[in-house]
Amino acid sequence: MTPLDIQLLLTALASVLVLVALIVSRLKMHPLLALLVVSIGVGFATHMAPGSIVSHLLTGAGKTLGAVGVVIALGAMLGKILADAGVTEQVADVILKRTPDRMIPWAMMLVAFVIGIPMFFEVGLVIMLPLIFSVARKLESKARFKGSAYVYVGVPVISALAAMHGMVPPHPGPLTAIAVLKTSVGPTMLYGFLAAIPAMILGGPLYGMFISPRMNTRPDQALLDQFTLAEKADGQPRPGVMVGMLAALLPAILMLVHAVAEMLLPKGNALLEMASFLGNPLIAMLLGVLFAGASLVLARGGDAEQLRDALGKSLKPIASIIMIIAGGGAFQEMLTSAKVGDAIVHLTQQSAFPPLILGWLIAMLLSVSTGSATVGIVGAAGLLAPLAGADPSLNLPLLALSIGCGSLFFNYANHAGFWMVKESFGMTMGEATKTISVVQSIVAVVGLMVVLMLNAAITIG
């Protein structure tokens, strides 16, 4: 390692500590402002030109808003339609009536597991938020419930979505590792499911039952009111369950069709191109909103102007969330552009760990330091690709999976997902750390343990 590498690592560490201090100290700085201030500080500390600093800020915020911001806005609209039509309340009633309280986290984990197969973490969470809030709000009304019902219900969802996002194709991270290491999708997907199940159980229902009695987290009332419906005040009958479920799941169905088409159809196929278009998160969410508005409101005699006003109001509670996530994207871009990832690679090159553990470590360090799981996966896979090609005894699907698991570890303040969970659930920095950061760390570690056990079993066999 060079003195520059050490300086970059210290700068990355100091930037996170300063960010936390600005938010939780007496200054109580708004997270967006804190993220921008710290990002600029990283730029000057790493000797970037002022013009480059501004360019990286705009690039990072813009990329994040383009990839996540519009999808979150569409998700808020879809959630508002589903809540006003009573769909989320219907689903919540079914879950609560047919599931004992102690089994609710398991039911929510199963729903998120299915939703998470085709969906990115952030998109899956947007889809699940109305159901999380509806179930938790009803559970909260029971006098005997202690702690935060929102953590009790939300942690299993976060765990399942994270496990699927980092371990199972067709998510971009695992697919990137598969492509770089030149291995195959089938075995990696099979191993991914085997690792994801115990990981999301330990990080979800089991950890959620432990931590929820120790927390009092409750989302902002405006967001709760948007995504839940206490009573059907207008006297209109609720839509049929099947129509409501189709409206809620249409984006997931379109993304799943795209995922299956990618695995079965050759590149250049017209059906694949159409599936790719319809399964893009932005297009899928847009079609979901249009279908929900048409089938749940307009087809049932609803007023188009009232629908438009409701959709406009749905954006107000999530505006702050979107901007904070954009700030997180700017922070991530600044750390990446400062070449913090290169310093991490140089650090790991001096180690003598087995390839499966080394891949996990490199992906973990790159993800934690740069705020991007994708950077972690690309960097780790690229670094180990020569070894993968030279060692025929190395199980490449398991190596790809170990890299994906490592990229999940300790999602924190430079990750957009951290801010989405924190702001959506109305958490403090400490509460968010106890939930998403710890949950994803559990998922990452358990995933690695399963990888090592599978590798040992295959080697012995």
Task: Report if residue 31 sits inside a domain.
Answer: no
The label of the residue with tokens 């989320």 reads 88
Alpha helices in 86-240 (DSSP H): 87-98, 104-116, 121-140, 149-167, 172-181, 185-201, 207-211, 221-227
Residues 6+ apart with CB under 8 A from 171: 120, 164, 165
Task: Report if residue 4 sits inside a domain.
Answer: no
- Token output for 65: 């808003």
Of the pLDDT bands very low, low, confident and very high (cuts 50, 70, 90), residue 389 is confident
pLDDT at 378: 84
Task: Report if residue 401 sits inside a domain.
Answer: yes
pLDDT per residue over 197-214, tens digit each? 999 999 999 999 999 999
The label of the residue with tokens 């109001």 reads 313
Least trusted range by pLDDT, from 25-34, 43-52, 228-237, 406-415: 228-237
pLDDT per residue over 211-255, tens digit each? 999 999 999 988 888 887 644 445 566 777 788 889 888 998 998
CA dihedral over 342, 346, 349, 353, signed as positive or negative:
negative
Domain region containing 454: 73-326+346-460
Name the CA dihedral angle for 339, 345, 350, 354, rounded to a multiple of 10 degrees.
Answer: 170
pLDDT per residue over 310-364, tens digit each? 999 899 888 888 999 899 999 999 999 999 988 988 888 777 789 999 999 999 9
Task: Flag whether pLDDT at 60 surpasses 70.
Answer: yes
Task: Report if residue 190 sits inside a domain.
Answer: yes
Closest CA to 81 of 306, 369, 391: 306
- With a pLDDT cut of 90, the percent of the chain lying above it is 57
Task: Flag whether pLDDT at 134 surpasses 50.
Answer: yes
Task: Report if residue 436 sits inside a domain.
Answer: yes
Q: How far is the first Cα of the chain from the last one, in angstroms, to the nearest whole number?
A: 40
pLDDT at 144: 73
Residues 6+ apart with CB under 8 A from 456: none
Whole-number average pLDDT of the chain? 90
Q: Is 400 exposed, middle or buried (0-12, 13-18, 19+ CB in 10 A)?
A: buried
Task: Report if residue 51 sits inside a domain.
Answer: no
Number of domains in the chain: 1
pLDDT at 142: 77
DSSP reduced 3-state for 142: coil
CA–CA separation, 37 vs 354, rounded Å?
Answer: 40
Helices 70-85 and 87-98, packing angle to 10 deg: 70
- The average pLDDT across 449-457 equals 96
The label of the residue with tokens 């999808």 reads 71
Name the CA dihedral angle for 442, 446, 449, 455, rounded to a multiple of 10 degrees.
Answer: -140
Task: Report if residue 340 sits inside a domain.
Answer: no
pLDDT at 356: 96
Least trusted range by pLDDT, from 59-73, 149-163, 426-440: 59-73
CA–CA separation, 123 vs 141, rounded Å?
Answer: 28
Task: Report if residue 8 sits inside a domain.
Answer: no
pLDDT per residue over 280-321, tens digit each? 889 999 999 999 999 999 998 889 999 999 999 899 888 888
